[in-house]
Structures are given as C-alpha cells and as structure tokens.
Amino acid sequence: MKTYNQLIHEYKKIFYDKGLSPEVVKAFIYELCNEKNINLYMDMDKEVNEDIFIKFNEGIERLMNNEPMNYVLGYSYFYGYKMIVNKDVLIPRPETEELVGLILSQYDTYYKGQSADLCDVGTGSGAIGIALKKEEDNLNVYASDISKEALEVAKRNCINNECSITYLLGSMLDPYIENNIKVDILVSNPPYIKTTEDVDPSVYDFEPHVALFGGEDGLRFYREIFEKAPLILNDKAMMFFEMGYDQKERLSALAKSYFPMADVEVFKDINGKDRMLMISIR
C-alpha cells in the first residue's frame, strides 16, 4: 500500500495533466482522514488506511469529472454547522454565510431579546434557517421549498444539528399564505442566475437548476416574493435576500417600486461584490 504522500503526489500529477486543480486531491484526502480522526499531516508517510483508500478510489473519479467535492463527500459546512448535501440541493456558499451574519446583526439591532417569526423561502439544504435558529434561539423559524427532495435534506440537517424548525412544502410564499402564517423577517436566497448566463460546468452539470435560474432577467423570484410579501408580513418587517453581483440597480429599483415607503439597502460581500439586499418596513 502507498503512503498518503505518494498517493497525493501521484494524483496531483494526474489532475495537473488533465488541467484540473491539483489542490483538490489533498483537500479530498484531508477530509476523508478527518472523518476517521486521522491527522493527515502527522501520518503523511504512513500507509493509507484501507477504508480511506476505498473511498478515495470511489470519489476521485467523480472529482476528475468536475463534480464538486461537497457532493462527493456528501456534506459541507455552513456557519460552522455540518450540512448533508446531495444533487437535490445547492451546496451552501460562503457568500450566504455573510447573509446569515447580516441578518443576525440586524436582528440584534431591531429585535434584541425579543422573539421574532422568520421564514426562509427556498431553503434547499436548510442551511440558512438552521444557522439562524442555532445562533439565535429567540427566532421562531419556518422554512419552505418547492422541492420535496430538498425538504427531506433540510429536515435531516435540522435533526442532525439538533435544531427546531417548521418545514413547509410549496412554491415561494404559497405555503405561508395557505397556512395563514405571518412573519417579522423574510429571508431568501432565491434562484437568481439569468437563464442565458454562462455558468461554470461544475455548477451547471451538477447543481439543481431549480435552485439556480431566475428567468430571463434573473429577477423572476424576487418579483414573485415582493408581490405576495404583504400577505405574510407583519406591519413592521424586514426582508433579506441574496442577489447576483450585477443586480444592484435593477433589484433596488424593483424593491422600491413594490415598497415605496421602505428602506432599501444593498450590502457587499467580502469580495466587494453587491450581494445582499435588505428591505425594512417600519
């Protein structure tokens, strides 16, 4: 059996020759070792554990096919919480962790110590709703998705993270309207990529399109939410959305047209890209 070092070197070269990022190889082995409580850096010159070797061989082909590593591993981390991911859900992005951070800081400003009802529309893996509830127990969290399969993943993630959330199946705000649910805070990372936009093959070929594409102008689901939001929002309310880096002007104008009395603000992500929209009605 080869050592970790040899295995990494061998496959790094293969990846390099195929024009793929060689760093993926070590990162993958590192994760597999972590699962078995093996410290890769201490054991570099030891023989590869047999179970790890089997998992490595199963996964490495998929990685060579450009499949995102989190799907191969079957999990991802979001705001420090482990989340199961599979082809039915988008892999949670670091930008979305920033959205959670923004919501938590705004909650501290406007609701500190008070309970508030919040909904996560299009929850996917459940990441946003779960992280918010784990970080702020005063929130009463609802989360919904149009995909039954995604909702199953979200429910599993909720249980695994010992969290408490009410899940609803349905398109955008419909399940809240049907169940007469009113909220103080609406959160959504809707599909916002333009149908015509070029998307990296590792995203396009593997991630669920229902979670990615937001119609010709990318704004279809914001429009849908803005239109029906008054039916589920309490008098004083806030809305938070993730958005595409090039949507600031169009999306702010759209928000202003639906909510002329509200404060509309766009925040940048850590890369300096316009990424989060906040609408506050008070």
* Binding interface with ligand GLN (CB under 6 A): 93, 189-193, 203, 212, 242
Q: How far is the CB of 15 from ligand GLN (least distance, A)?
A: 22
Residue number, 146 or 212, with CB nearest to ligand GLN: 212
Q: How far is the CB of 262 from ligand GLN (least distance, A)?
A: 22
Residue 107 CA to residue 102 CA, distance in Å, equals 8
Residue 137 CA to residue 132 CA, distance in Å, equals 8
Residue 91 CA to residue 117 CA, distance in Å, equals 26
Q: How far is the CB of 188 from ligand GLN (least distance, A)?
A: 9
Residue number, 90 or 139, with CB nearest to ligand GLN: 90
Q: How far is the CB of 152 from ligand GLN (least distance, A)?
A: 20
| Nearest position to ligand GLN, beta carbon | 192
User: How many alpha carbons fall within 13 Å on the CB side of residue 204?
Assistant: 9
Residue number, 52 or 123, with CB nearest to ligand GLN: 123
Residue number, 25 or 254, with CB nearest to ligand GLN: 254
Residue number, 25 or 119, with CB nearest to ligand GLN: 119
Residue 85 CA to residue 77 CA, distance in Å, equals 10
Residue number, 203 or 262, with CB nearest to ligand GLN: 203
Q: How far is the CB of 222 from ligand GLN (least distance, A)?
A: 11
Q: How far is the CB of 127 from ligand GLN (least distance, A)?
A: 12
